[in-house]
Structure 1
Amino acid sequence: MDESICIKCRGAKLLCGKSRCPVLVKYYKKMEVQPLIEKNLISGSSPPSIFVGRMGYPKVYAGPMLPPIKGDTSFMDTPELWHDKKIDDIVDFRMKLVRGKYRIDVSNAKGRIVEYTQEIAMASKPVEMEVQFEKKPRGIITLYDEVQPHGPSAPIKKLWIENAKVDKKIEKVFYDEMKSVDAIMWLYEEGTFVSSIQKVFSAGLFGIQKKFVPTRWSITAVDDTIGKKIIDEVKNYQWLNEYHVYYTKSLDNLWVILMYPSSWEYELIEAWYPNTTWNPLGKKIILFGDHEYYEGRSKYASIGGCYYSARLAVAEKLRKERRQGGAVVLREIHPGYIMPVGVWNVRENVRKALREEGKKFDDFRDALLFVSSLLHIPIKRWIETSNLIKRRLYQKKIEDFIK
């Protein structure tokens, strides 16, 4: 992007093409919270929330996050509860989360601050705490593709916390020294939120070595691990009998999910409109995606962590139905989606769509016509990008020919 475009525009002309100025959205939220953190000492209730960075790995910054607010702040770090939130709402409460930083070696993290950070990650309720920083927290809201945004940060000098109410399930996997995969799956089957499992995994509370994991990596690792385990189970079920189409809208994103009779296979395709986060300079809509067949993937999906988040939601639906099938998830990202809010957005909205009744069809082409009616982008472009839809259409033609 032209480096001078923001100076020329100043939020008035929307030269970037976005529906609102993301710089001003972040600025106004910063102005609201700045007076609350304009000091070296902050008291508040951590949701609970922690963050482990990845820069400089294996020596990274880790620590708790807290708002300058006391009380029930749990919603601030529970994306499973954000279905009805707007981007402004998310920026508002996430901007209030101040990140405390403490340098650690992920394989050999020691010290009282490390212990406190792990206690916070194990908590079942918000933890009242007080942090003395080496300097005033600074920086604008931090945005990542995988991770939900957070506010300013500063190195921790001292940290005090009240007795944390430890989650009994998390306490069990910690003291039983369960292997990471076993711990993840046990907590999941016991009803622990995926976001909570990701937090605990990041805090190095699983296994014997108890190694800290960067937050971005932990999010994808947990989505991937749970998804694979469920898919292994789904492969034992009979195929779907019909074609199913589900859809939902959120944060100016449109989601359409097509499920069909087949052995397990899956694809996620995203369409980024011009002047959205990952297509800031484009004049055209960009479509790209990744897929897997029955055997799964051997390489990390180029589309990123969202691939595994959506796959988990699809696998959950098939397991609930006790059926095996193929699934294509189509996502249109429109200009109103002015900044990334994390892959929870993908997982939770695909889950939301799949909780609905959906539409059923006996024929693949009828299902595809309905999919086309829901999308803004012509179905031809989706078919050109999709490996699974093209493959199925081609196979259908061969079957018709044989008949």
Structure 2
Amino acid sequence: MMKLFNSKLCALCKGRKLLCGRPTCPILERFRVVKSVEQKINRREIFGSSPPSLFVGEYGYPKVRVGPLVPPIEGNTSHLDSPLKWENKTIKDVLYYRSLLVMGEMKADVNVRKSGRILEEVQELAMSVKPVDSEILLKRRPILKVLPSEFAPPVGPRAELLDFELTENPRIPRKTDYVVSDELKAEEAIMRLYNWGFDEYYIIRLLSAGLLGINKKLVPTRWSITAVQDTIGKKLREEILRYDTINEFELYFYEFLGNRYAVILMPETYAFELLEVWLKGSLFGSDEPEVIHDYEDFRGIKGYAEETTGAYYAARLSVLESLRWRRRQARIIVFREVTPKYYAPVGVWQIRVGVKKAMENPVGKFNTLQEALNELRKFLELELEKYLEKSWILRLRKQRTLDYYFNMM
């Protein structure tokens, strides 16, 4: 397969021959999305129903870009920013949704005490559980750029914000008011909202808007996603450590938006590992794909997941939720293969959803790990040995087995 995004290759192909080996041209696909929304957003004043949605950037921290996201559409627009409900959507759908959300951006200090009226309005928007009719006035017509990000869904058109106003009262639950106004640490606030059944991305929005914690600050959207998923994951890990282990080796599999997710559960004490590979021809792939990984034992990961980054916390949370529901613990390995079909990164939510769907799609139960691995081969494109060489859990298990037999001599 030829090298992707080579200027000469693209010039020869012009998106028609698909010489890069992908099922669709990512350049033309994004161009089509831009053209489909161009007329709807080609103005300085945008009035519509925000899903509700906002974005907080990280560049320049502690002075960051922040602003509401408003589409030129009225009515129920919640589907435009509901990542955990996009399980039946395509990459093109997601790019279209994000391209409709116009961001009016302004510079703000992360210390919300220094904020003015506009940021207060943005915070009210963040607390709503229903779309809110809103109006933004921009300095110029918005520019649409779809930037690659493995964390947040791609940000759509944007321009400097002159004014923002909610034109109706937001629907704010009493429990949200209680959590926001009370002197709770961010971790406690996150868990209360989660256990009360609030949507994960609603909690992320509150954290980003500087509404959670004792010393309230704006938190970049990308950081908020990882912080919320990590916080919930840690608490669920503490809970499942009290449960008995599963009884057999279990294998699960699901393919979602060009990503293959396989999960092996072992009847042993808790540990978690994510093994990830970008296959040849994929967005960040190479001619010789390499497996990257991060892992933890029952004490949790040391520091930050440096190799798999945000994907680690998203995948871990989906498996932990499944085990919590079963009131069981297990040793966990998640395999992620990114194929050329994943032609535009749409955010870490797809990992969250992909692994969650995998846990709802069992392949089978096995008496031995070897039987489970033999079945796993059928679902992977990269040879299994590449994963086995890298896996901390499988190396550790092999070493313990040798130690056991040695001590029996």
Q: TM-score range by the shorter chain?
A: over 0.9
Letter in 1 for 2:401: K
Q: Which residue of 2 aligns with 1:155?
A: 160
| Structure-2 separation of matches of 1:391 and 1:368 | 16
Secondary structure in 2 aligned to 1:286?
coil
The question of 1:28 aligning with 2:24 is answered no
How is 1:166-181 mapped onto 2 (pairs within 5 angstroms)?
Answer: 166-181=172-187
Q: Does 1:49 align with 2:53?
A: yes
Q: Aligned to 1:267, which of 259, 270, 273? A: 273
CA contact (8 A) 2:187 2:213 kept: no
Unaligned runs of at least 5 residues, structure 1 = none
Matched to 1:322, the amino acid is R
CA contact (8 A) 1:177 1:206 kept: no
Q: Which residue identity lines up with residue 323 of structure 2 in the other structure?
A: L
Which residue of structure 1 lines up, in the alignment, with residue 209 of structure 2? 203
1:320 paired with 2:325, answer yes
Matches within 5 A, 1:2-401: 2-3=6-7, 5-108=9-112, 109-161=114-166, 162-279=168-285, 282-302=286-306, 303-399=308-404
Report how far residue 188 of structure 1 moved. Answer: 0.4
1:86 and 1:207 map into 2 onto residues whose CA distance is: 36
Distance in 2, matches of 1:374 and 1:28, equals 33
SS at match of 1:380: helix
Q: Percent identity?
A: 39
Distance in 1 between residues matched to 2:315 and 2:331, nearest whole Å: 13
For the Cα contact (< 8 Å) 2:81–2:97, is it kept in 1?
no
Contact 2:125-2:170 at 8 Å conserved across structures = yes
Shift of 1:5: 4.4
Contact 1:96 1:150 in 2 (8 A): no
Does the residue aligned with 1:102 lie in a helix, a strand or coil? strand
Deviation at 1:230, TM superposition (A): 0.8
Contact 2:54 2:126 in 1 (8 A): yes
Higher mean alpha-carbon deviation, 371-380 vs 26-35, is at 371-380
Structure 2 residue matching 1:316: 3-state secondary structure: helix
Number of equivalenced pairs: 401
User: Which is further off, 233-242 or 178-187?
Assistant: 233-242
Cα distance in structure 1, aligned partners of 2:392 and 2:274: 10
Deviations 1:15-63 (A, max 9, x none): 4443221111111100010101111011111100000000000001101
Map Cα deviations across residues 280-337 of structure 1 (whole Å, 9 max, x no partner): xx21333211111222122211211010111111211222221222100001111111
Q: CA RMSD in A?
A: 1.7
Mapped contact 1:205–1:211 kept (Cα < 8 A): yes
Q: Quick one: distance in 1 between partners of 2:11 and 2:59?
A: 30
TM-score of the superposed pair, with normalisation by structure 2? 0.94
Secondary structure at 2:142's aligned position in 1?
coil
CA distance in 2, matches of 1:278, 1:292: 25
CA contact (8 A) 2:294 2:312 kept: yes
Read off the aligned partner of 2:67 and give its amino acid letter.
G
Distance in 1 of aligned mates of 2:270 and 2:57? 35
User: Partners in 1 of 2:157 and 2:268 — Cα distance?
Assistant: 48
TM normalised by structure 1 equals 0.95
In 2, Cα distance between the equivalents of 1:22 and 1:171? Answer: 43
Q: Which stretch of the first structure deviates more once superposed, 244-253 or 234-243? A: 234-243
Q: Using the TM superposition, give the Cα deviation of residue 90 of structure 1 relative to its aligned residue in structure 2, in angstroms.
A: 1.1
Find the aligned partners of 1:358 and 1:323 in 2 and give their Cα distance: 19
Change (3 A) 1:394 1:365: farther
3-state DSSP of counterpart to 1:42: strand
Residue type of the partner of 1:263? T
Assess if the C-alpha contact under 8 Å between 1:142 and 1:152 holds in 2.
Answer: no
Contact 2:44–2:137 (CA under 8 A) maintained in structure 1:
yes
- Native 8 Å contact 2:251 2:362 kept in 1: no
